[in-house]
Structure 1
């Protein structure tokens, strides 16, 4: 097993409320063909899609599985987005579902939601405005002997469950469902940090969707992003490698698609993807 500094990391509370879906004065979303559509989108409680389910071909746009939370205080929400990590324990602290526990499954930039998995029985008891506390734990995670690999946005206990190994060539072997080339990464490119939010795989090219198995992606899938540097912001860099998790669904808008929250990145080719059918956080979390 890899040696990390997880014993030195701080576990700290952040929290938000279940955030209602919102619609502005113009209810339409413009698709890639320039056609206006009215569809469900971000926010609220999504009852019938969860991690492990397909994130493609939904009748919706940027759909967030499970529960979407946000703080009304912008600075507190910045902390929620920055400190919450995939795999962190989340607990309902108000409302009929008080005491229910789940897991953070991703951070969605732009709308600035943290996404949380709960089982169906608990979802049925929840309501818009219920407060959810997250035990934020993971930012600052480092792997001993791999200074050029930056970890982010992942709970150390979940990281251990991925069973990442160092091979004979000194590379980190990470389970992934597929590899995505840099030219398919769209909305979110150029962000100043990858420690918050996500960026999208563009899905406007149907042939590319099939070639790289994007059409088979599920919420929670772990993917490798080739020539994508997320160590200090998001950019193209030949030879760099990033590993991320699918956090929201495909989209109808140009330049958008399934959202990826990055959990590891290196400016050098220190990370190797090992194609694994079960490379999904639902499998590793046992839900």
Structure 2
């Protein structure tokens, strides 16, 4: 237990999938210019969970399990910034009241939603607009032995559970694969305190070349030459660590989405291959 990290409540409601009136909704365009109409992020998703494949779904950036948001924009921003992957969540209204869940990711270009895992039985009982309260803990977490490593959006207990080692003063995290910088897509240039950073996935051969074609939701990955201390951006020698939180989609630049949980600018953070590193196992998430 880290006594200096503050735990505070934030809340949101199970979010209904939404569509803007313009431009050209409900249809979107694939990377090859073909219109499509598939389920997109938001809602209570009954058949996609952390641990499942991040590819192959007839959907566009699907969030596993339950997406939550606060109807007030400023309060929703507080929810998205302070909620951390690994935080515990509780259903506070409706037929599933009292059920426990775990935050598994964040999403949205402008930090729209927080993704929470609940088991199958709980999902069947839940309804859109049910209130979920998150015990938000993790913002402000720091590593005195590695002051150049910025910790973001990760609960202390999940950080402790990650496979890690220190070599020549460099903190190294066990990851399933490494995303090269030329495959970083949507989210670059935006804030790293909320929302997600996507990988490019339209070039399937390149995806397979880097061992990214078999990623699962919840996999821990490294993102090379990416500095996410303030905004996500290219910086040679930097590294970020992310958790795959959303599925692939047919749009250019919107491959699986990642929640960045730590970053460093100049070689202070590294990675090693640990192919089974997935938060479904680390957090003992049940179906």
Aligned counterparts of 2:149 and 2:266: Cα–Cα separation in 1: 8
Aligned counterparts of 2:54 and 2:63: Cα–Cα separation in 1: 9
Partner of 2:116: 116
CA contact (8 A) 1:16 1:77 kept: yes
Partner of 2:155: 155
- Tell me how far 1:75 sits from its aligned partner: 0.6
The answer to whether the aligner puts 1:78 opposite 2:74 as a matched pair is no
1:164-243 superposed matches below 5 A: 164-167=164-167, 169-191=168-190, 193-243=191-241
Partner of 1:68: 67
- 1:158 counterpart SS class: helix
TM-score (norm 2): 0.95
Superposition RMSD in Å: 1.2
The answer to whether the aligner puts 1:125 opposite 2:125 as a matched pair is yes
Aligned counterparts of 1:50 and 1:175: Cα–Cα separation in 2: 22
The answer to whether the aligner puts 1:275 opposite 2:282 as a matched pair is no
- Tell me how far 1:6 sits from its aligned partner: 2.9
Partner of 1:255: 253
- 2:189 counterpart SS class: coil
* Number of equivalenced pairs: 281
Instruction: Give ranges in structure 2 of 5+ residues lacking alignment.
Output: none
CA contact (8 A) 1:6 1:138 kept: no
- Tell me how far 1:199 sits from its aligned partner: 1.1
CA contact (8 A) 2:10 2:78 kept: yes
- Tell me how far 1:7 sits from its aligned partner: 1.9
Aligned counterparts of 1:187 and 1:35: Cα–Cα separation in 2: 19
Aligned counterparts of 1:285 and 1:216: Cα–Cα separation in 2: 21
Instruction: Give ranges in structure 1 of 5+ residues lacking alignment.
Output: none
Which of 3, 10, 14 is the aligned partner of 1:14? 10
- Tell me how far 1:163 sits from its aligned partner: 3.7
Aligned counterparts of 2:81 and 2:39: Cα–Cα separation in 1: 26
